[in-house]
């Protein structure tokens, strides 16, 4: 029996834009996703847009009962900035009533709400002013954060500022998967810097709010592994870790941007514009905890013909196809549970052993109906095996002293996923898009109930 620490968090994660629905109603203003879908629906899988998603706006009470039914003691979701402050200034009272009831009913059911402020859903009114490229975004986000703390701080005691900030940076400004879908390394760095400062100012607002609780940030971690011990491959690994891990983890936990990262950006004419006093704020307003979203590692090698100055991250490190890899063919991601142990050790040894939790881990599979039994239950043994393998490695790290306090899967009910729509499913509950978003339990949900009940497996 693998036992986890007392009061360990067992739960799932999701987001407002991927689950709530009611994307253009109840006082909500458009986000970049709403506008992009209106402009280019052909980019979205089966023309599945953000309007309805999984209809949690109407079904949240029943969903909370389903959380209880599979033993969840915690749940992370987000507030939609566009719903709470449709114009960035005026509070939408209907949104306040919705979120307060949602969070209170969660707590009453023994499910601790962990509430995130931003999950890729940039308000359109701010995008028209430049989005994260504009320094104004820092002030706007700080005001939104302050408003959320004032309105919900009596219910919510665990907050996160951003989910996976690297994703909206990379996907929006390097790889064309998020709006504005441009390729500009220098803009990407500036967007990253303003995102960091927005986070810092939100932490400052939290500290000044008097709210009783803790605040952190949710980062996606893709540990880099070098092809070989050759110096150039190891240098590629170091640069990959600087850009993909240390760029946010160091300032958020240690209060400093790595000197090596600053030098790398300077040498490649990529330094962002900053403001006086930023360094002091970064140093002062560090986090109470870190959430780590882990899905896959990053295999790297030295680039063959890098551009100087760098035009893309691949000029610093090239992908390496590890011949021994095990793949999730539906998502195109390597399955490598051992990296979760390495992450646990990194947090212990390099980041003051700050409290942290696995804030996302999961396996997306397409056409899961293939695995449905005669009673209508999806037999997703592949998902159970995935969780077992990752939890085994996580447990090793905890046994060796890493300060991990929880494990959340992606996700609770099948949700909408950006350009991919509902192509890959991750939930403990299936969502039937043809039957008014009806939920049905998968086998993995039964396994998770036993995991939570036993605090191990």
Peptide bond preceding 180: is omega within 30 degrees of 0, i.e. cis? yes
First-to-final CA distance of the chain:
6
Task: Collapse the DSSP code of 200 into the 3-class scheme (helix H, G, I; strand E, B; otherwise coil) and give the result.
Answer: helix
CB of 345 within 8 A of CB of 279?
no
112 is catalytic: no
284 is catalytic: no
Closest CA to 101 of 52, 143, 55, 64: 64
Give me 388's structure tokens. 């077992």
Cα 226 versus chain centre, distance: 25
Peptide bond preceding 309: is omega within 30 degrees of 0, i.e. cis? yes
Residue 208: count of CB within 10 angstroms of its CB: 11
345: CB partners within 8 A, 6+ apart? 397, 400, 402
Residue among 334, 360, 368, 393 flagged as catalytic: 360
Closest CA to 137 of 85, 88, 204, 176: 88
Task: Collapse the DSSP code of 233 into the 3-class scheme (helix H, G, I; strand E, B; otherwise coil) and give the result.
Answer: helix
Residue 82: count of CB within 10 angstroms of its CB: 29
Q: Are strands 333-334 and 327-328 parallel, antiparallel or unpaired?
A: antiparallel
The torsion defined by the Cα of 25, 31, 35 and 37, in degrees rounded to 10, comes to -90
Task: Collapse the DSSP code of 357 into the 3-class scheme (helix H, G, I; strand E, B; otherwise coil) and give the result.
Answer: strand
Residue among 112, 133, 164, 238 flagged as catalytic: 164
CB of 264 within 8 A of CB of 242?
yes
The secondary structure of the chain in percent helix, strand, coil, rounded to multiples of 5, reads 45, 15, 40
CB of 25 within 8 A of CB of 80?
no
Active site residues: 164, 360
């Amino acid at each position: 029996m693998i036992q986890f620490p007392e009061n360990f968090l067992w739960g799932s994660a999701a987001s407002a834009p991927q689950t709530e629905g009611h994307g253009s109603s109840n006082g909500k203003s458009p986000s970049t996703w709403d506008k992009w879908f209106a402009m280019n629906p052909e980019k979205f899988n089966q023309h599945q847009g953000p309007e309805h998603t999984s209809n949690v706006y109407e079904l949240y009470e029943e969903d909370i009962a389903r959380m209880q039914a599979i033993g969840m003691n915690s749940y992370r979701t987000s507030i939609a900035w566009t719903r709470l402050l449709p114009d960035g200034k005026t509070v939408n009272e209907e949104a306040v009533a919705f979120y307060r009831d949602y969070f209170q009913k969660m707590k009453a059911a023994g499910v601790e709400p962990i509430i995130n402020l931003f999950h890729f859903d940039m308000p359109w009114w701010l995008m028209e002013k430049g989005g994260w490229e504009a320094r104004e975004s820092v002030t706007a986000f700080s005001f939104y954060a302050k408003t959320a703390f004032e309105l919900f701080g009596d219910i919510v005691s665990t907050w996160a500022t951003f989910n996976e900030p690297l994703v909206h940076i990379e996907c929006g400004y390097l790889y064309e998967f998020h709006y504005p879908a441009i390729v500009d390394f220098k803009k990407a760095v500036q967007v990253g810097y303003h995102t960091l400062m927005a986070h810092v100012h939100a932490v400052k607002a939290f500290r000044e709010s008097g709210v009783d609780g803790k605040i952190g940030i949710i980062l996606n971690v893709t540990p880099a592994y070098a092809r070989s011990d050759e110096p150039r491959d190891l240098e590629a690994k170091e640069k990959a870790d600087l850009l993909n891990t240390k760029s946010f983890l160091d300032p958020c936990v240690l209060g400093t941007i790595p000197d090596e990262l600053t030098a790398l950006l300077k040498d490649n004419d990529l330094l962002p514009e900053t403001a006086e006093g930023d360094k002091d704020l970064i140093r002062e307003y560090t986090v109470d905890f870190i959430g780590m979203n882990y899905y896959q590692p990053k295999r790297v090698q030295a680039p063959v013909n890098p551009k100087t100055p760098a035009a893309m991250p691949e000029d610093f490190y090239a992908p390496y196809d590890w011949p021994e890899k095990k793949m999730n063919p539906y998502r195109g991601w390597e399955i490598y549970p051992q990296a979760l142990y390495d992450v646990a050790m990194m947090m212990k040894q390099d980041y003051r052993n700050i409290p942290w939790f696995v804030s996302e881990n999961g396996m997306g599979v397409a056409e899961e109906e293939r695995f449905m039994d005669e009673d209508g239950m999806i037999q997703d043994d592949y998902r159970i095996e995935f969780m077992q393998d990752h939890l085994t490695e996580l447990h090793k790290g905890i046994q060796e002293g890493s300060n991990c306090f929880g494990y959340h899967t992606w996700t609770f009910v099948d949700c909408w996923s950006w350009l991919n729509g509902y192509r890959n499913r991750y939930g403990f509950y299936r969502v039937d898009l043809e039957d008014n978003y009806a939920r049905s339990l998968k086998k993995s949900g039964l396994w998770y109930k036993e995991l939570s009940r036993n605090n191990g497996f």
